[in-house]
Amino acid sequence: MPIKYAEEYRDKKLSKSLIQEIQKNSRKPVRLMEVCGTHTVSIFKHGIRSILPNTISLLSGPGCPVCVTAQGEIDAFIELSRKKGVIITTFGDLMRVPGSNSSLQKERAKGQDIRMVYSAFDALEIAKINPDKEVVFLGVGFETTAPTIAASVLSAQAMNLTNFSVISAHKQVVPALTALLQTKEVNINGFLLPGHVSVIIGAGAYRGFVKNYPIPCVIAGFEPVDILTGIHMLVKQIETGKKDLENAYPRAVTEEGNVKAQTLLNTVFQTGIATWRGIGLIPDSGLIFQKAYENFDATRRFQISYQQAPEPKGCACGEVLIGVKTPLDCALYKKTCTPIHPVGPCMVSSEGICAAYDKYHTG
Amino acid sequence: MTIDHILLDHGSGGKVSSAMIRNIMLPVFENPILSMLNDGANLEINGVRLAFSTDTYTVSPLFFPGGSIGDLAINGTVNDVSMCGARPLYLSVGMIIEEGFPIEELRRILFDMGKAARRADVLVVTGDTKVVPKGAADRIFINTSGIGWIPDGVDVGGEKARVGDQIILSGTIADHGMTILTQREGLTFDTGIRSDSAPLNHMVQSMLSVSRNIHVLRDPTRGGVGTTINEIALQSSVGIKIYEDRIPVKKEVAGICELLGFDPLYVANEGKLLAFLPPSEVEGVLSAIQKDPAGKDACVIGEVTDTRPGRVIMETRIGGERIVDMQTGEQLPRIC
C-alpha cells in the first residue's frame, strides 16, 4: 500500500531550492504559527527548523486535539470510565493525558474497560457485540474527525443501536483563529493553516476570517515540500505587505471542501460554545448534538456536567498553545514534566508541542 | 502524578521499561554481569566463554503472516544469544497455557518451534508446561532461554561502540510490528506485509568469520531501531549520527505507519540486526550479511561520533537535523 503523493513531496532537490528561495526573500524577523499539531510534528520530524533562516520563528498553535481538550473534560472522561457497565472507546492519543488525579491509561490498569479504537465505527462494532454494556466513544478532534463520528451516529440510529453514545468534545478551527487574534499577548505575523481540516471545510471557510482580521494565511499540506512552500508563500506575502488567503495544498483542498462530509457533520452536530485549554470559552467553536440526535449524546445519557478544573500548577500548556511561550520557557519542561510523568497534555499527545520539542529538539 | 500500577508502557522496551529495570529490578539482583544490560549475559566458566539469555513471548494474534508465537520464541532467543557474538546451541522452553486452549493450535505452535529450531540449528533440551485456569492467562505464553558458545577473539557488547565506527543495519525495518498491528482484531487492513521473524545466528557466524573486529551487535526488537541505537549511545557514551534516506523501509510498511501515525524507527523487528564496526571491516562484513537471504537490503545507516555523547542525531531526507530519542512507552495511534 504505497502512499501516493508523498514521495515526490519529500524531494531533496525541491526542498533545497525552496529553502534557498526562503533565505533569499526573508528579511524581516517574522513569527509564523503552524496551527495544526500534525504540522508541528512534521516540521520537527523533517528537521525544517534547523534549516530555516534565523529571521523565521515558528510557533505551534492550538491544533493538537488532545492538547486543547479542557482539564474538566478529561476529568469527566475518567469519571465516566469508572461507571459500572460502561465501555469507554477512544483514540489512542487520549490514553495518557493526565486529568486532575488519574488518566485513562491508569484507569485501564486498574481494570476499567477502556479500549483504543481507530475509528468510531470500531466502537459501533463493540456496542453491537456487547448489548448489555453502554459503549461510549470519546469524540475529541477537529472537523477532520467529526464527520466520521457523525456517520457512526447515523449508522447507530439506522441499526437501532441504543447502547452507543458519543461525548462530543469536538472543536472548530476558524473560531479559534479569531480568538487567538483577539488575545492581547498574541503576536503572530502569519498562519500556516491546517491541511487536513481544510480538506473538509474548504478554503472558503477562512474567507470571512481573513476579511475581518487581515493577516497572511497559507493552507499547507504535511510533507516537507508542502510546508516549505507554505512558509515561502507566507514570507513573500509579509515582505510585500500582502494579507491574503492562499492555498499551497490544491491537490487536496478545494474552495468548497468536502461537501458530503460537511453535510454529515451538520446533520448530527451544530455549533456550540466550547472550552479550550489555554484560551478559555470560545463561542461557536464547539460541536454539540442537534436536537434530533441528542439521544446519542453521552453527556445527556450519563448526566455529565463538566467541572471547572484548574490546570496543573506551573504548567504553561495554555500559553504554549497560543504561541505566547515555547516549551523552553516553561519552568516544568523536562524537569518535572516529561513524557513519562507528563504534567500537561502538550507533553503527552504525539502531536503535542512539548512532546515534539522533547523528542526532536536538538537544543 | 506517580505511577503506582504496571502499565503497558512498562513492557514497551522504551524509557518506562528501562526506568523500571534500573529502579526496581537491578538493585535486587545487583551483579556486574547483569549490570551490563546486554541482550544476554556473557559468562566465563572454567575458561570457556558462554552467552546466556532468556525472553518471554506473548503476541496477539498467535499466528500472523510470516510467523507465529512458536518461531518467534525460538528465533528471539537464538538472536539474543547471537547478539553476544555467540553460537547458540541449546534452548529451554517453558509454556503457560490457559485452560481450554485448543490442542490443535498447540500442535501448530510446536510444529513452528521445531521447524525454527532446525533452521537455526539449535536443540531444545529441556522444558516445562503449566496450565492455568481460564482467564488466568491469555491463551499461551512461552518463555525460552538459550545458551551459546563465544568463539575466541570475539568481543562484542553494547558498551563497545567506538568513535568512527560505522553502523550496519541488516535490512528493512518495522515489518514485524506493523504486521502484528494490522493483524490485530478490529483492524481490517489487507496489506500483504509479513513479519521478518528469522534466526540471525548463521548471519552472525558468517560476519564473524570475515571479521572478529565487530564492536556491537544488537537486534532492534521491541522499541525498534530508534530505541536500540539510543541504548548503545548511552552504554558506550558516544554520539551517533544516522541518515534518514539510508534506512530501508518497505513502501507498504511506510504507508501503514504513515496512516496510523507510527514512526517506523520505533516499531519492532524480529529478524534484523545492527552492527557497529570500524570502517576497515565494513566492506567484508556487509557483503557477508548481504549473502544471507534475511540481509539482502543491508546497508550502512550511520556512524559513531564524538559529539554529544549519549545522543542520536538524524540527518533528515531534506538535509535538516533532528534528535532521535528513546521511545517513552507504547506508540499510540493518533487522532488525525
- How confident is the model over A268-291, as pLDDT tens digits? 999 999 999 878 899 999 999 999
- The answer to whether residue A314 neighbours chain B at the CB level (below 8 Å) is no
Mark yes or no for CB contact A51/B7 under 8 Å.
no
Predicted interface score ipTM higher than 0.90: no
- The closest of B262, B240, B251 to B315, measured between CA atoms, is B240
> What residues have CB less than 8 Å from A355, skipping those under 6 apart?
A339, A342, A346, A347, A348, A349
- Assign B50 a pLDDT band (cuts: 50, 70, 90): very high
What is the per-residue pLDDT across A24-36, written as a single tens digit (0 to 9) for each? 999 999 999 999 9
- The answer to whether residue A49 neighbours chain B at the CB level (below 8 Å) is yes
Residues of A in contact with B8 (CB under 8 A): 105
| Residue in A closest to B312 by C-alpha | A362
Location of C-alpha cell 500472523: B64
Percent of chain B with pLDDT over 70: 95
Sign of CA dihedral A67, A69, A75, A79: negative
- The answer to whether residue A89 neighbours chain B at the CB level (below 8 Å) is no
Does residue A275 form part of some domain? yes
Residue B243 one-letter amino acid = Y
Location of C-alpha cell 538459550: B146
Cα separation, B321 vs A305, in Å, equals 46
Please tell me what DSSP assigns to residue B22: I
- The answer to whether residue B245 neighbours chain A at the CB level (below 8 Å) is yes
Report, as an integer, the average pLDDT of A146-174. Answer: 97
Location of C-alpha cell 564524538: B306
Mark yes or no for CB contact A1/B252 under 8 Å.
yes
What is the per-residue pLDDT across A44-103, written as a single tens digit (0 to 9) for each? 999 999 999 999 999 999 988 888 999 899 999 999 999 999 999 999 889 988 898 899
β-pairing, B41-45 with A280-289? unpaired
Residues of B in contact with A49 (CB under 8 A): 320
Cα separation, B219 vs A230, in Å, equals 40
- Assign B333 a pLDDT band (cuts: 50, 70, 90): low
Please tell me the predicted confidence (pLDDT) of residue A1.
Answer: 40
| Residue in B closest to A225 by C-alpha | B318
- The answer to whether residue B81 neighbours chain A at the CB level (below 8 Å) is no
Cite the beta strand spans of A161-238 per DSSP E: 164-168, 190-193, 217-219
Residue A29: other Cβ atoms inside 10 A: 11
Mark yes or no for CB contact A2/B317 under 8 Å.
no
What is the per-residue pLDDT across A300-351, written as a single tens digit (0 to 9) for each? 999 998 888 888 889 999 899 999 999 999 999 999 998 878 888 899 877 8
The enclosing domain of A157 has a CATH number of 3.40.50.11740
What is the per-residue pLDDT across B234-279, written as a single tens digit (0 to 9) for each? 999 999 999 999 999 999 999 888 877 789 999 999 999 999 999 9
Please, which residues 111-140 of chain A have a Cβ atom closer than 8 Å to chain B?
116-118, 122, 125, 140
- The answer to whether residue A339 neighbours chain B at the CB level (below 8 Å) is yes
Q: pTM for the full model?
A: 0.83
Please, which residues 307-326 of chain B have a Cβ atom closer than 8 Å to chain A?
313-323, 325
CATH number for the B166-323 domain, one of 3.90.650.10, 3.90.550.10, 3.30.565.10, 1.10.10.10? 3.90.650.10
Domain boundary assignment for chain B: 41-149, 166-323
CATH number for the B41-149 domain, one of 3.10.105.10, 1.20.1250.20, 2.40.128.630, 3.30.1330.10? 3.30.1330.10
**A290 contacts A269 by C-beta, under 8 angstroms:** yes
Cα separation, A11 vs A270, in Å, equals 41
- Assign A2 a pLDDT band (cuts: 50, 70, 90): very low
Cα separation, A152 vs A121, in Å, equals 6
Mark yes or no for CB contact B320/A49 under 8 Å.
yes
What is the per-residue pLDDT across B158-197, written as a single tens digit (0 to 9) for each? 999 999 999 999 999 999 999 998 887 556 566 788 999 9
Q: How long is chain B?
A: 336
Residue A43: other Cβ atoms inside 10 A: 25
What is the per-residue pLDDT across B11-31, written as a single tens digit (0 to 9) for each? 777 778 888 998 999 999 999
Report, as an integer, the average pLDDT of B216-230. Answer: 95
Provide the number of structural domains found in chain A.
1
Residue A152 in this model has a pLDDT that exceeds 80: yes
Joined together, the cell numbers standing for residue A192 give 500556516
Mark yes or no for CB contact B323/A98 under 8 Å.
no
Q: How far is CA B310 from the centre of its chain?
A: 20
What is the per-residue pLDDT across B75-103, written as a single tens digit (0 to 9) for each? 999 999 999 999 999 999 999 999 999 99
| Residue in B closest to A227 by C-alpha | B318
Please tell me what DSSP assigns to residue A69: B
- Assign B330 a pLDDT band (cuts: 50, 70, 90): low
Domain B166-323 in the same topology as domain B41-149: no
Please tell me the predicted confidence (pLDDT) of residue B186.
Answer: 54
- Assign B327 a pLDDT band (cuts: 50, 70, 90): confident
Joined together, the cell numbers standing for residue B22 give 534500573
Rounded to a whole number of angstroms, the distance from the CA of A127 to the nearest CA of chain B is 13
Cα separation, A274 vs A69, in Å, equals 9
Domain that holds residue A283: 66-172+257-301
Mark yes or no for CB contact B336/A103 under 8 Å.
no
